[in-house]
Amino acid sequence: MTTRIIAAGSNALNAAEVLHVVRRIVGGSIFLRTMISSKLTGAEDTDLYVCAVTQKEKMLSIVPPGSLSVLDLRPTAEFFIALSHIPAGETVYIFNSNDRMAHMLADMCQEYHIHALHFETIAYEDMPQQEVIEKLQKARYIIGIGRIVDKDVLLSPQYAPYLREDVTIIGCMRMATMETACELIENVAAIEGSSFDADRLQQQLLNTLAGQFSDTLHAVDGLSPFSNSKTLTSMLKQLEEIISRSQSISHRK
């Protein structure tokens, strides 16, 4: 049985990011397609809808909770290391389609103890165009999700002409948290039932975990000892949970 999944997002770029993350988590044995959440009816021919946490409320107004898997997408540690090298006191502009995700990214920076920077948002779909342009013209540092601060949006002909010559742009790749990655895999297992390969589940869990640990270990020299200890402790707790879940689902064979 091939599980059918719709990766949903507020726009095409966000939906494509969700699709990429889903494929990394559950592999290539599923049928994946993207859709913009505003165009969904809830009657699509699919087994499961997947979205980022910022789209959860919107999606739950369209599809039943049992048909939805929500991913909490977080930037990799390298992104926060790059931010920690920006001089204290600088204003950093968060470029994103909507204001909500921009504020969430600022909150994540606070979680990584990046307190010496001032964050402002540039929500290009929510703000008047003139306000977007004025902020871009002032911005010395711009951060955001990879594709959005690349040629697809920020470096496109629509916005690139307004950027300063000395601007520094820092894009991030996002990964799902271990908890939400496990929930997605378990949802796929429930859909596929007896045809689900539990050995593949364990391999997918280990692959996802390896990616998370690799990212964390690369960050050891970039963050404070307090941040490292906190992050690694959290990872070890997640490892225990993943092993428990993996063993539990394997026993279904």
Amino acid identity of residue 87, one-letter, is P
Q: What is the pLDDT of residue 32?
A: 94
Q: What is the pLDDT of residue 37?
A: 95
pTM here is 0.76
Mark the ranges of the chain whose per-residue pLDDT is less than 70: 1, 28, 194-253
How far apart (Å, rounded) are the C-alpha atoms in residues 32 and 169?
Answer: 31
Whether residue 140 contacts residue 164, with contact meaning beta carbons closer than 8 Å, is answered with: yes
Fold of the domain built from segment(s) 77-172? Rossmann fold (3.40.50)
User: Is 77-172 in the same CATH topology as 4-74+175-250?
Assistant: yes
* Beta-sheet pairing, 73-75 with 174-176: antiparallel
Provide the residue ranges of all domains of the chain, joining segments of one domain with +. Answer: 4-74+175-250, 77-172
Q: What is the pLDDT of residue 243?
A: 55
Q: What is the pLDDT of residue 218?
A: 47
Q: What is the pLDDT of residue 150?
A: 94
Q: Hey, CA dihedral for 45, 64, 61, 25, is it positive or negative?
A: negative
What's the whole-number average pLDDT of the chain? 83
Q: What is the pLDDT of residue 225?
A: 47
Q: CATH classification of 4-74+175-250, choosing from 3.30.70, 3.30.410, 1.20.1740, 3.40.50?
A: 3.40.50
Q: What is the pLDDT of residue 248?
A: 59
Q: What is the pLDDT of residue 222?
A: 46
Q: What is the pLDDT of residue 181?
A: 86
Q: What is the pLDDT of residue 89?
A: 95
